[in-house]
Amino acid sequence: MRILILTLVFPPDSVSTSQIMGDLACDLQDRGHDMVILTTTPHYNRDPEAEARQPLRSAFGRVVQKSDFHGIPVFHVAMPSKKSSVAMRLLSWIWFHAVCTVIGGLFLPRADVVLAPSPPLTIGINAWLIGLIKKMPYVYNVQEIYPDYAVDMGAIKNRLLIKILLKIESFVYRKATKVTVIAPYMAQKLLKKGVSPKKIQVIPNFVDVDFFAPKPKDNSFSRKHNIHNKFVVSYAGNMGPGQDLENFIEAACILENRPDIHFVMMGDGMLRSRLEQSVQGLSNFTFLPYQPYSLVPQIYSASDLNLVPQDPKIARSAIPSKVYRIMACGRPVLATTVPQSDLATLVHEAQCGIVVNPQAPGLLAEAIKQSASAPERLQRMGEAGRRYVVAKFSRQFVSALYENLLKTVIQNKDSFTHFIWKAE
């Protein structure tokens, strides 16, 4: 197969979706398929180590640069940092979509299929336009359900804009040959939106169980930050409004009289400055900047509990991929989410951790305190999580699901091409 992955983020950017798409591209290439990537320049979670390994060079002047990712050609459309103003980021997204359509539709070789992960929702329009020009189908991969995610978080309130986005969402689902979602409840939501059950397929996100593997708690990361001899509760990731991180800090305040329990938070995001200021003076809290991707297995292994938080408003529109990485490292998950979410269901089924209601810092502090006195129970949870993720969410297993799906799409491309061109 000749496969074009059209994605907003891709290595050397190190946000979770970019790592998943990078691993998937490598796996599909290893299975004998020709891959090409159309994405942005690194702008989300900048990783100097990764960028040094994957240098960018000019392809179409400064507009589009090119890199090599394990033998896969990657075309990067210029994109400013995520820290830019909202207006600048909006203009940049419009720019990205326009350039992608031109480059993908006119300059890149024709592929057999396009795989387009969201967000943003509008990348589905790009995939459809490129497919229209090249007469090829596209698969829309839903990592987060938009516009629901943004509306539920209160980021979008204008009724007219919401109505327009819902129309775009319906168009993207209708024109996609297949729509993949990463969790069962997300599939139910799409069914309620009127998406055909024949079009939806659940393919979970995966984890590299060789790279993310159990390591000693006493490692170079824990030694560097002097937490190797403490009970550590950590959060590593995006610091945005959907993470419910304020309650994590409140739990640390409640447990400040327990010097044996230490809280660690690391990452970046729009709330980072505010959260960092709120932990000033807490003796049991370490706040760190974004850490290189290569250190993530050590970070999880250094932690006795790894927080996976979800704001209740968006708990049924996404599932954080970090949960699989924590499980792969053999450490228990501390999930703050609603009981009916896909995340809660996963933790209960795998018996790999603890689920606490969100926005309840007292309950969270109590769960942490009880866990600190039950090391054997935590060890069993970590071991159970590792077994579960190896069996159901390994990189090899999930990549094979994608390969089979894309083969099915291509084998039926004559009917799908007719569907693309059919007036509705």
The model's pLDDT over 331-369, given as tens digits with 9 standing for 90+, comes to 999 999 999 899 999 999 999 999 999 989 999 999 999
Query: The tokens of 118 are what?
Result: 């969201």
Name the token pair of 156.
């979008």
Architecture in CATH for domain 220-392: 3-Layer(aba) Sandwich (3.40)
**Where do runs of H (alpha helix) occur along 304-394?**
322-328, 342-350, 361-372, 375-392
Question: How much of the chain is in helix, strand and coil states, percent to nearest 5?
Answer: 45, 20, 35
Virtual torsion, Cα 150, 151, 154, 160, nearest 10 deg: 120
More confident residue, 148 or 368: 368
**For the chain, what percent of residues have pLDDT higher than 70?**
96
N- to C-terminal Cα separation, the chain: 29
Whole-angstrom Cα distance, residue 205 to residue 186? 13
Segment 158-206, tens digit of pLDDT: 999 999 999 999 999 999 999 999 989 899 999 999 999 999 999 999 9
List the one residue out of 251, 8, 244, 24 whose CA is nearest residue 121: 8
What kind and span of H or E run contains 34?
strand 34-40
Which sequence spans correspond to the domains of the chain? 2-206+394-421, 220-392
Element (H, E) at 27: helix 16-30
Can you say whether residue 226 is alpha, beta or left, with left for phi > 0 and alpha for psi between -120 and 50 degrees?
left
Q: What is the pLDDT of residues 101-140, one digit of tens each?
A: 999 999 999 999 999 999 899 999 999 999 999 999 999 9
Look-up: residue for tokens 């496969």?
3
Whether 232 has a pLDDT exceeding 90, the answer reads yes
Amino acid type, 82: K
pLDDT of residue 423: 33
Confidence bin at 282 (pLDDT 50/70/90): very high
Q: What is the pLDDT of residue 340?
A: 86
The average pLDDT across 61-84 equals: 88
Pick from 208, 232, 179: nearest CA to 20: 208
CA nearest to 209, candidates 421, 414, 392: 392
Q: What's residue 414's pLDDT?
A: 53
- pLDDT of 98 reads 93
Q: Is the pLDDT of residue 415 over 50?
A: no
Top pLDDT among 219 and 412 is at 219
Residue 420 has a pLDDT of: 39
Establish whether domains 2-206+394-421 and 220-392 are of one fold: yes
What mean pLDDT, rounded, does the chain reach? 91
Residue 421 in this model has a pLDDT that exceeds 60: no
Third-level CATH fold of 2-206+394-421: Rossmann fold (3.40.50)
DSSP 170: H
> Distance between CA atoms of 314 and 356, rounded to whole angstroms?
16
CB 162 within 8 A of CB 148: no
409 vs 88, more confident: 409
